[in-house]
Structure 1
Amino acid sequence: MRKTKLTDGQLLSQYKNGNEEAFAVLLERHKDRVFTTIYVIVKDRYQAEDLMQDAFIKAIKTIKSGKYNEEGKFLPWLLRIAHNLAIDHFRKAKRYPEIVMEDGSSVFNTLEFSEAPIEDEHIKRDTHNLLKQYIQELPEAQKEVLVMRHYMQMSFQEIADATNVSINTALGRMRYALINLRKKLQHTQIAYDQNFYKK
């Protein structure tokens, strides 16, 4: 049987038994997904390529050490490694969750606060700062899904794969994140774009 026809699990078994070529097939099979998972977060092709290599190296070390036990879930496990490396990159750069959009503008500058007077930049700036603060205060799992969905434009399927949970769990975390943000913003009586939080 050709190696390209083998399942991930079969290839992993061969690799554990010393067949280095088996992992090369796995790398070729999944490198595009791993690269995309990282690239949507770091928005830099060269950095994404470096982190993709790091992800595969980490996977190899884990498998060779005998600590890999995600039988049948190789791709979600690999995407989780890639996702964590990309997020770590952001945290080290002290930019998380301050995400910069494709055009170079801050994501918070794209939010419209419908009832705040346009001329009152102080209110707008204060609201942006409060929003950033409230996002940081969310439970880690909720904050992660919110950032990936709204600021990185990832689908819930991509989020589920990257965080190794079901789509329903990802949706639930997003729902609770938005409920918590709404409560915090309503408590401060600051106007905000309610349509944004219904997405």
Structure 2
Amino acid sequence: MNAEKPETNPMDVDDVQLLADYRNGNAEALGLLVEKYKSPLFGFIYKFSEGHEDADEVFQEVWVRAIKNMNRYRQKNLLSWLFRIAHNLMIDRIRRRKPTVSYDTPATDDGVAVSDQLASSRLGPDSESGGRDLGLRIEAATQNLPLEQREVFWLRMQGGLSFKEIAKVQKCSINTALARMQYALSKLRNDLGDEYRELQEAG
């Protein structure tokens, strides 16, 4: 009796090997790549989308474009390349809809404004939901950042990209990427007050 083949964990397989397998006709390799980077990529896209359905549409389009150009891909960091594709797609969509976001703009489905979220009860070290609350407050605060600064912040904090990689995504110099991050952190420090220290510890 043949033993069942153990399920492959995409995190255990090198990108170079998966790309080589896909180029050789192994469709499963592509599925492993999608699964491997689904969490950071979808999470990043969601931060700049109008909801889950909108984010899912962009996520799928990122992979459609990636597949079309997979044979020409020669970079070292696949996730950075996927972020760059997502960046270009989202810039196009944002330009088409030209949104305006301010502290008085509802930031959540229940209509709570960013200013109201930031003015909610302060976090305490003994709060069971402290980490989750801080995450929600940070996400709300970033909505008031200029697009370029908000993108740098999430590429760094959620995507884990280096500033060299972020510069490639945004098509700017490393110094510009660093400056955008500094401006973003400065504004978040003003908005979050004492909670900013927790953000620094998390980063």
TM-score of Structure 1 vs Structure 2, range by shorter chain? 0.5 to 0.7
Confirm or deny: 8 A CA contact 1:35 1:48 kept in the other structure: yes
Match of 2:161 in 1: 161
Distance 1:88 1:77, change over 3 A: same
For the aligned residue pairs, the C-alpha RMSD in angstroms reads 4.0
Structure 1 CA distance for aligned equivalents of residues 20 and 147 of structure 2 = 33
TM-score by length of 2: 0.56
Deviations 1:77-104 (A, max 9, x none): 11221233223221111116x4652264
Structure 2 CA distance for aligned equivalents of residues 73 and 85 of structure 1 = 19
Consecutive unaligned residues in structure 2, runs of 5 or more: 1-5, 119-144, 168-173, 197-203
Structure 2 CA distance for aligned equivalents of residues 76 and 172 of structure 1 = 20
Percent same amino acid among aligned pairs? 32
Confirm or deny: 8 A CA contact 1:12 1:22 kept in the other structure: yes
The one-letter code sitting in structure 1 at the alignment partner of 2:43 is T
Structure 2 CA distance for aligned equivalents of residues 18 and 8 of structure 1 = 15
TM-score by length of 1: 0.57
Taking CA–CA contacts closer than 8 Å with sequence separation of 6 or more, which of the two structures ends up with the larger relative contact order?
Answer: 1
Structure 1 CA distance for aligned equivalents of residues 45 and 59 of structure 2 = 7
Confirm or deny: 8 A CA contact 1:51 1:85 kept in the other structure: yes
How far 1:158 sits from its partner (Å)?
Answer: 3.2
Consecutive unaligned residues in structure 1, runs of 5 or more: 112-134, 136-142, 180-193
How far 1:14 sits from its partner (Å)?
Answer: 1.1
Confirm or deny: 8 A CA contact 2:44 2:159 kept in the other structure: no
Match of 2:92 in 1: 88
Match of 2:148 in 1: 145
Structure 1 CA distance for aligned equivalents of residues 181 and 34 of structure 2 = 31
Confirm or deny: 8 A CA contact 1:39 1:45 kept in the other structure: yes
Match of 1:69 in 2: 74
Deviations 1:113-140 (A, max 9, x none): xxxxxxxxxxxxxxxxxxxxxx9xxxxx
Distance 1:106 1:159, change over 3 A: farther
Match of 2:65 in 1: 58
The one-letter code sitting in structure 1 at the alignment partner of 2:93 is H
> Matched residue pairs, number?
149
Confirm or deny: 8 A CA contact 2:62 2:85 kept in the other structure: yes
Confirm or deny: 8 A CA contact 1:145 1:159 kept in the other structure: no
